[in-house]
Every structure is written in C-alpha cells, then in structure tokens.
Chain A
C-alpha cells in the first residue's frame, strides 16, 4: 500500500536529478525492499535507504547518494571515533532485516584499523564506535570482536579489511543479530536487542571508506533463504497453534462464523443449506434476510431510487432516523442518474423496457397491489410455479454460487435458464410485486422458506442481469443519463432537491464535512463533458456501489440488533489490525503472517 506512493516520491526526485542510472537503482531498491519486507507500511515506518547527513559526527563525510562513508578526522585516539546512522530505524514489521557494508579502503597505513559495523538507538553518541555505549552494538574489523554496549569486546568472528563485505542481520522475531562476512554467516552476535535500532557504521582511521547496501544491489549473503526458514517457522507455529480444549468446539465455532457470514450477506439459500447440514439455527428470519438481499441487489445494480423506496417500505423508520444515511443513498442515486442506471432516468431514457414493465417508474407501485396479495388464488399459482423452479434448481443454485467469485451477483441467470421459458419473465415480474407485498405486510410465516428464496429473488435477478448488460452498453456509449433529455432534466431537478436536502441537513444537524465533500464530488461530475474519464469519474464505477450497499446493510442489521459486521469479517479485520499492532509494538513475527495468506 505504501510502496507505490513512496515509489512515486522517488521517481520525482529522480526526474530532478535527471540521472537514468540512478533511476534504475532506485527502482531496483524499491522493488527489492518491497519483496524483502512486504509487511512494512512505509507511511508509518519508512525503511532505511541511506545514511543520514543529519545524524552523524562531523568527522564523517558522505557521498554517492549518502551511501559512501569516509573518515575525515585525525584518527589519533578513540576520541576521534565517528559514526553515522541510517535515515530511519529498522521497522519491526521487517521480521528479518539485513544490510551490507563493503570495505572500500581500510585506511592509511600506520594506524590500527578501527572500524565498527552495527546498530545503535537514536541519541547514542556519534563520537564513538558502534558497540561502545548503551543501546549500541558493533562488530569491529581490527580484532574481529563484537561489542555489546561495552568498551570491551568479546571474541566473535574473523577480522575484516579492504574488499570484504560485512553484513548485519537483525532478527526482530527473537531480537537477535548476526553478521556475515563475504556471504558466510558468523552466528549470533547479540541477543535481547531493544527495538528501533538504526543501522550504524563507525570509523576511526584516516582514509577509511565503506559503502552501504540497503538493498540497492543484490546482497552477497542469501538473506532470502534465511527469511524462508523463518517464514516456515512462523507458519508452522500458526498451523500448530493449540485450539479449543474440547473436541469439535473449534469446528462448531467456524461453522457458526461461516453461517453468520452467509446470513449477513443475504446468501439465504446457501445459508439455509449450510445451517441445515451443520445443524445450526439461523438467528434472523429468512424473510428479513431476503429483504436485505433484495435491497442489496437494487443498490448493486445501480437502481438507487428503487432501493431507497424499498428500504423505506420495509424499514419505515430507518432512513428517517438516519438522515445522513439517506443523504448518502440519495447522492449515490444522483450518481447513478448521471450514469443512466437509476430506474427513474432509465424509464425516461426508454432503455429498460423490462424494468419499465415491472416498475413503471412510479414508486407507488409497491403500495398499490396490497389487496392483490390477499387473492390467494393468483398467489398460489405463482407460488407453485416458483416452488417447482426452486426445487429443480436448488442444487444448481448453490453450485453456481460456489463458482461465483463476486458475492454481489446471485446466480439467478442460471435459474432463468433452468426455467427454460423466456415468457415467464413477465410472470415473474408480477410475482415479485406480490411477494414484496407479502413481505411488506410483515407476514412472517415463511416456513418453507428455502424455496421461497429461489422465487423471491427470481424476478429481480433476471432483470438485474439484463440491467447489468445495459449498464455496460450505456457505458460504452457513455451518454449523460443514458442520453435522454428528459432524464437529464430529471437529474438536474433531483440535484436541486439534493442541494436543498443538504442545506436542510446542515441547518438541522450542523456542518458535516463528509456530506459536503460527497455532494461536491458528485456534482463535479457535471463539470465535465465526459464524466467517465474525468478526475471524479471513479464515482461512476459500479464498484463504488459496494460501500454504499454494505453501509445500508449494516444499518438495517443494527436496527434488528444484529451485528453490523459479520463475525468472520470482524475476525479477519481484527487479525489484520492485530498484525499492524504487532508491527507497532515491535513483534517481528507479524512479517511472516499475512492475513491474505490464509484467505484464498
């Protein structure tokens, strides 16, 4: 997430330099860092990319993009020691962090070649070599000793000199550090490291020059192989994590989560089959699930007007109590009008004959045939035929469902095909009206509900299918409000209503910057001759319906005292949140436990 934005920054700075080779190097660096540390959020915790010109002792000179360090002091006594830190501390979310330093020159003859490579916390004295002070750690080239916050070193590894490449690896999972020399691991040097250490290098001999590699070039040591081992370890730990004491408890919990997820997103048929086969109770009335499903379908097919009407119908007080929600829905409706998908403009544009048949543009429709519903005869026939459809297709239904990757489209087109006769569509349309009445009446004796599911979604789905196709064609032509003048007028009128609603809201409830921005963005669409390719054109994308849809769905569920988020999504969210919390508190194992790895 952070990668692209920081990458952008780099590209821009490169343009200023006008150096193509540098450009390539930066690209390499960004690519390598992203591959090595995918869990790091660089907006929060940027990775070290060079030495800091600000965080160094004066005897240190930097060059070559702040990657080359040279010593320019006297180098007579330890008082002449000088260090430099990297620009940023090592983020815990790296899991395993690694950098290398190449000794370009060991310095002038006649001096002891003091040279230290290591880590230090912010604020540690820079007039010292790494390792000599508290929160400072170093491996020194003259004697090969390691210095762990102390002036006296411990025998650790071989000495190093001109031409050697010394690597330093910080394991943020077990808070240890090891070094490498020319690609060979020297073994653990330090344990119990504190968090937020900076790569640090210290010199004390005139003529000493070292180059750092924070990922600009391939490393000599195979750090990725080391990371593979830790990834495997962490994942094995997760896999073997002890769950539930009692047999079956864990399974039951997972089944519950899956069931609640299906219910939440109104996959009623699947939910019911699942509940039945896992022997669970569904906590929401099926009718209610189906209502939500219907509303969601309308929103997702861009038919906001109908969605609002239906919501008002089924949940009369919901939008009254949530004027901000209503406002959001209306703004979306306005956008759909521009898009030419909202039912109000569709009928005016004359481009949706079927929906016109079923929904003759009048919102009154839902109220009118109330009495019809009581006519059991009509109802019965309709019901029967649907019942049959339901039975014959119930298998195909779930099957088709599992093929769909996108959860918003129910597999009703298959149902239509199963029906075989196209002529039925109009019938179905009529039935929808009846059933809608059925629900609006609040009749909740839907005992054999599984099959009602098939029938209730039926009509709408068919049309949604058609509708979607028309949206596509409309988009290819891309005419405002579908090209109809009447529709444009209706849209403008609707815009005015929206404006006054906004003003009204502000008077009633005070300023709301989110609402203001929403409205401004939506109205901005009209400022362009082709709104679809305009900077605000993203609003027209059908994917933008999803947040609206889920907000509305959550609001409905809340009124029923049901969780506005399914436990499964909550758990996934919590896990992700947990990982970023781990990153913030310095638990490196978060690097190798991406939630996405477990969502297939």
Chain B
C-alpha cells in the first residue's frame, strides 16, 4: 500500500515534466520572432520523429492548428511552411488517433491548398503528409473529391518529380473506391498520365502506378476498354503487365499485375482465351495460392482467381488441373495450425487473424471452380473433409465465411450426383435450414437458392427438409422485398410441389394462401411470375389432385388464368398459363370449370390460331385433354 502511495505522485510528476517540455515546443510556435518560430518547428521535428507519445502530447496541446496556420500564412517563409508540413507529416505517421485529430483540424484542405504553391520542396512535403493521411483507414476518401479542382491539379503535379509521382499515385490508389471515383480519375486523364510511370526506374513509383490501374479497372468497362489500347513506350499495356508477372518480380507486383489483367478480362476488354490470361494471369494467380506465399497473398490470389474464371468454364477446367489447385486449397482450412499454437504465440495470433479470410477465400474459389463442370465438382467433393468443412463453414460466426460456404455449397448443389450422395450423407440441409432462419439477405439468397436444388424431386434430402417445416419459411420468403428472395422462395415451393403427395400440396396452398398466390401472379418480376405459374402447374398434376384443388380454389385459379391470358405478357408466360389450363382440363370435375366457361373456350380457340407455334401447341394440348376426358367418361 505504501509503495503505491509513494509511486502515484511520482508518475504524475514525470507526466507533467513530459507535458512541460511538449508545452515548451508549442509555446515556441507563438514566438514573435519568425526566426525563433522556424527553429522551434525544426526542434519539434527532431523531437517527434519515432516518438508516438510526444506526437500525442503535441496534438493534445494544440500544436496542429498553429502549425496549419503557419503553413497557410503567405507571410511565413517558404522554409517555415515546408518544415510545418514535415512536422505534420511526422505527426500523421503515428497512431490512428493522431490521424483523426489531424483530419478534425481540417488538415486536408490546408495541405491541398498548399499544393498551389510553386515551390517543389514545399509541394513534396505537403504531398508526403497528404499521402500518409489518405492511406489511413480512418480518413474518409471522399475528402479528396470535395473540391473538383484538386484531381486536375494533382494530375498536373504528377510528373514534377520522383516523389510527386510516388505520393500522388499512392493517394489515387488508396482513394479510388467507387465507380464515381473511377470516373472522376478517368475523366481527368488518369490513364494517360499514369501509364508512363509503369516503366519508371523507381520500384516504388512502378508499384504505385500499377496499383492505380488495378483499382481503376475493377469492374469498370470504360477504363478496361481504354487500357487495352494504351501503349507504353511502344508496348501494349497488357504486355507490360505480363512482364510484371514474371516470377522473379516481387510478389506484390506479380499479384497486382494479375489483378489488372483479371479486371480487364472480366470487363470484356481481353478475351478469356487470350494467352496473356490463359498462360500468364491464371497460372500466376494459382501460384499466389501456394503454401509458399504469405497468408494475405493467398487470400487475394484465391479471390482474384475465383473472380477471373467465374464466367468461363474453360478457365475453370484449366485451373482445376493447374498445380494441384483443388488440393492446395484444402490447406487454407488448416489455420491456425496445431503447431503454431504451441510454438509461437505471435504466429498463432497472425494465423487466427487470417483464418477466416483464408477459409472464405477458399470457399469462393471452390464455388467458382465448380460452377459449371461436373468432373470438377466431383474432384472438389472428394477433397479431404470437404463436405465437413462446408457444413461447419455454414455455421461459422463470420458472416463472410458463412456466405462463401453457402456459395460453395450452391455451386456444388448443381450436381445431380452430389445431391444424391455427399449432400445427403453429410445432411447439409440441417445447417442450411438453420442458416435460413436468421441471416442477412445476401446469405439468404444463396441459401434459398441452394435449397431449391436440395428440394429437387431426386434429392434424398427433400423428405427430411419437408419434415423440418420448411414450407412456412419459403412462404415467408415469397413476401420479401428482394425479388431474388421471392423467386427462390416460390422456386423452392415449385420444386417441392413437383410430383408431391396430396398432403404436401394442400399444405403449400394453405401456407401460401390464395391471396399471396395472386399477389405473386401479378409480381413485377417475370421470374417470380413464371415460377408461380410453375408451382400452379405442379400443384395441378394427377387427376385426383387437380380435382381436389380446383374444387376448393377453382374460382380464384380460373380468375388468375383469365387475367394472365388477357394481360400483356411474354409468350413464355402465356404458354405456361395454357399448360395450367391443360392440366385443369385433365381433371374429372375440374374440366367442367373450363367447359362451362365460354369465355375461356374462346380464349383457347384464339390461341390455337395464334401465330406462335408454342402457344398453338399448348392450346391444342388443352383441347386434347378436354376431349380425351370426355372419351374416357363415355364408355
């Protein structure tokens, strides 16, 4: 106790001592003699370098507004203004809190204003500080775009020196986060200005310029289309990127160049069968997934590769046999490894931090790999513990992992064979159902879409899912605001109703309610309408079912059919509706609903003479069912 009592005042005195020296630095900024002020700023600079405590002290003591004032005063000497920018840059190098304080003091507009000065040294100091502020995650990037004159001015400064090149490209690379940002930069000739920097003698400049192109081209057709036609020193840009992917180049450069080409390819600017994609970008990204790479690089590599080959089955096939990619990805699930837990606490921490990212990246890549080819899906499901990993991924705490796992499951659920075997063996429907209970929309879309496949007639999971009370859940999905969820809900019901028991059908109709059914039939989304008609068609199959449902809901259904046949709908919709009519005609008692409806018979007649063959056929099918029934009834 005594010791504590003695220690406490001691600490305070040390602290006050520190604050006193810091106070002294700040006081000197207010000296009437400009020469003393300059010396004060220089001393401050030397005092804060590498000293986070000192930085925090000075910020608390209000050095920042004064430094900014001095920096902005045109009466200050250039030397003083430059030193102020340097000190501010040094303060920005500290903690995130420092950056927040600087941004709160409006450092960004002040420094941007400073760029209008003609002195290069001062400009460079301002840019260095701006760079440090902008690359911090706590700085709102929008601040770069508030004043529309800033971007063109930065473009004009770009080629001034090695440092302006480096800092400005670094700022752009970090502050281009939305399509709007891309457009602003593009409109101010970012491509023409930055392209020559790709062959700069400075490694840093080359790297930052490359990063700019990767953020500019991401999901941007306009930029991508422009990029393919750019020449750098007589060479096509894509070839410059290919050279940057050479295996002796720094990994960061290889990876970023591969991203650029990936984005250009996805935007349609480069064909997927171009050698620079098939023989260079794809193998480069596969290499990034290897065990030799850092965890961060493996995450980015896998995500980029997944994105590159998503729409192209040939790329998926090539990737599936390149460098054992499928089994290489299995390693992504082994973090934190049991070894790291014992040996190295630092590594454990590092592994833990990246474990989720690794898992979700692997799931994404598996999803992309298996989205088209049955053989690849088989290869994936045969990977060690694959289904178990997906099952546990579906219930992970990280939303990103859950989403990726369900994407992967969805991709694999397109395989009839897998639905029949591994999906059932591992009872994937259980975690999937759980996931559907309470999840954000993007997860729900994927999960319900997967559920659609699991409810297909030949899926052995269909029965247990039915028993788990899925119908209510699917009906509630059909009331969602999201068209994708409505489609999936009704789609799943449609699949469920296919060749189902009377009991199930009745339950569907009951749970959905005719009101909701009619609402869905007038849904603005054609997909929803089509699947709802499909559901009706599946409900109205086999004679007893038809008669049973029509006896209880005949009136409403006939109304709906009339409505659709009279409305402005596509051929497909009308065809599907006529098919429903044909099914109704197949019923024993149900057919009377048509036979007694003159208007309906007229409509069928009309469609028999329709110019579209599909509609003609469907209408004829209707008539045939009506007649066949009659024959059957009169022995």
Chain A residues within CB distance 8 Å of chain B: 157-158, 181, 183-188, 222, 225-226, 228-229, 231-232
Contact = CB atoms under 8 A, between A and B. Distances in A.
Contacts of B328: 187
30 contacts: A157-B321, A181-B321, A183-B279, A184-B279, A184-B283, A184-B318, A184-B321, A184-B322, A185-B322, A185-B323, A186-B321, A186-B322, A186-B323, A186-B324, A187-B322, A187-B323, A187-B324, A187-B328, A188-B324, A222-B279, A225-B246, A225-B247, A226-B247, A228-B246, A228-B248, A229-B247, A229-B248, A231-B248, A232-B247, A232-B248
A312 B246 CA distance: 62
Nearest to B279: A183
A199 B248 CA distance: 28
A188 B322 CA distance: 10
A231 B323 CA distance: 20
B261 to A, nearest CB: 15
Nearest to B286: A185
Given A184-B283, A185-B283, A228 B247 contact: yes
A235 to B, nearest CB: 9
Interface string B209-250: 000000000000000000000000000000000000011100
5 closest Cβ contacts across the A-B interface? A229-B247, A187-B324, A187-B323, A228-B248, A232-B248
Interface string B318-356: 100111100010000000000000000000000000000
A157 B317 CA distance: 12
A185 B285 CA distance: 13
A188 B290 CA distance: 12
Contacts of B321: 157-158, 181, 184, 186
A596 to B, nearest CB: 19
Nearest to A226: B247
A226 B324 CA distance: 17
A232 to B, nearest CB: 4
Interface string B259-292: 0000000000000000000010001000000000
Contacts, number: 33
A286 to B, nearest CB: 45
Nearest to B280: A222
Given A183-B279, A184-B318, 6 more contacts: A187-B328, A225-B247, A226-B247, A228-B246, A228-B248, A229-B248
Nearest to B325: A187
A157 B322 CA distance: 9
Contacts of A185: 283, 322-323
A184 B278 CA distance: 9
Interface string B296-332: 0000000000000000000000100111100010000
Contacts of B247: 225-226, 228-229, 232
Contacts of A229: 247-248
A452 B444 CA distance: 93
A573 to B, nearest CB: 29
B390 to A, nearest CB: 22
A184 B323 CA distance: 8
Contacts of A188: 324
A215 B246 CA distance: 21
A157 B324 CA distance: 8
A185 B287 CA distance: 10
A185 B290 CA distance: 13
A187 B322 CA distance: 7
A228 B287 CA distance: 14
B46 to A, nearest CB: 28
A232 B247 CA distance: 9
Contacts of B248: 228-229, 231-232
A536 B247 CA distance: 49
Contacts of B318: 184
A567 B449 CA distance: 75
Contacts of B283: 184-185
Nearest to B290: A187
A232 B318 CA distance: 27
A73 B441 CA distance: 65
A238 to B, nearest CB: 15
A185 B279 CA distance: 10
A232 B246 CA distance: 11
A15 B247 CA distance: 41
A511 B324 CA distance: 67
